[in-house]
């Protein structure tokens, strides 16, 4: 399903003016796991990765973003106002952001904005379900094929260690799968 376009909405200019801009340098955090987080983000340019770190310090990539795109909505990446993920810039990045409560107020007062935001959320949740299906239902080589179809060109953008983590296998397995394809 395609996210509705806001360009014709009467309130579009006012809505856009409520978004702020921010720049991140490569390596900078947009969010940190277990820290307060109440914003919504649109990646205008650059690349980000979201990850979860377990109690043993093992980090797992759960989202890869290349701008322009919407970062997974706040409701799907926080609990009780606390971030469940860390999001880090893998390149210099430009973002637009708005407080989630302000966006909710816009959604209540404007049907086009409500439709747009609900479309963004549906798209994000659909991508998450696709990844979960991939992890649960596909073997290694099939996962890599799925990744290449779902995220064309990302293999040339993100470190293979992040992609391997995102696909639920080790960097060694990723390297072997790539080598097997060449034979």
User: How many Å is the maximal CA-CA distance in the chain?
Assistant: 58
| 67 occurs within a structural domain | yes
pLDDT recorded at residue 83: 96
Is the same domain home to 142 and 130? Answer: no
Residues linked to residue 89 through DSSP beta bridges, in sequence order: 48
Residue 6 in any domain: the answer is: no
> Do 91 and 172 belong together in one domain?
no
| 21 assigned to some structural domain | yes
Instruction: Report the alpha-carbon distance of residue 70 to residue 147 in Å, rounded.
Output: 19
Q: Quick one: 107 and 166 in the same domain? A: no
pLDDT of residue 74: 92
- Tell whether 79 and 121 lie within a shared domain: yes
3 state DSSP class of 144: helix
pLDDT of residue 12: 75
Measure the CA dihedral 141/144/149/151, to 10°.
180
Tokens of 10: 């009467």
Judgement on whether residues 99 and 150 belong to the same structural domain of the protein: no
Instruction: Please tell me the distance from the alpha carbon of residue 63 to that of residue 170, in angstroms, as a whole number.
Output: 17
Q: Are residues 88 and 66 in the same domain?
A: yes
Per residue of the chain (183 residues), give pLDDT as tens: 455 566 666 677 888 889 999 999 999 999 999 999 999 999 999 999 999 998 888 899 999 999 999 999 998 899 999 999 999 999 999 999 999 999 999 999 999 899 989 998 899 889 999 999 999 999 989 999 999 999 999 999 999 999 999 999 999 999 999 888 776
- Residue 122 parent element (H or E): helix 111-137
pLDDT in the model for residue 1? 45
Is residue 177 in some structural domain? yes
Domain count, the chain: 2
Note whether 181 and 120 are same-domain residues: no
Specify whether 18 is located in the same domain as 97: yes
Last residue of one domain, picked from the residues 100, 121, 136: 136
Residue 144 lies in a domain: yes
Per-residue pLDDT at 6 = 64
Q: What is the extent of the structural domain holding 162?
A: 138-183
- Label residue 20 exposed, middle or buried (CB < 10 Å: 0-12, 13-18, 19+): exposed
Contact 73, 57 (CB under 8 A): no
**Do 174 and 123 sit in the same domain of this protein?**
no
Q: Residues 125, 162: one domain?
A: no
- Do 160 and 122 lie in one domain? The reply is no
Q: Does 167 fall in a domain?
A: yes
């Amino acid at each position: 399903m395609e996210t509705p376009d806001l360009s014709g909405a009467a309130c579009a200019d006012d809505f856009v003016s409520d978004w702020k801009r921010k720049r991140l340098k490569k390596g900078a955090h947009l969010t940190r796991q277990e820290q307060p987080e109440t914003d919504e983000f649109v990646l205008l340019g650059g690349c980000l990765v979201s990850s979860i770190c377990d109690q043993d310090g093992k980090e797992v990539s759960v989202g890869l973003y290349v701008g322009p795109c919407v970062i997974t909505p706040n409701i799907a990446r926080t609990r009780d106002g606390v971030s469940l993920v860390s999001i880090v810039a893998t390149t210099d990045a430009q973002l637009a952001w708005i407080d989630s409560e302000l966006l909710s107020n816009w959604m209540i007062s404007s049907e086009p904005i409500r439709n747009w935001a609900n479309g963004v959320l549906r798209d994000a949740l659909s991508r998450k379900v696709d990844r979960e299906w991939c992890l649960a239902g596909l073997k290694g080589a099939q996962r890599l094929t799925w990744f290449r179809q779902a995220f064309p060109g990302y293999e040339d953008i993100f470190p293979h260690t992040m992609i391997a983590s995102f696909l639920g296998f080790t960097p060694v397995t990723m390297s072997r799968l790539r080598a097997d394809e060449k034979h």
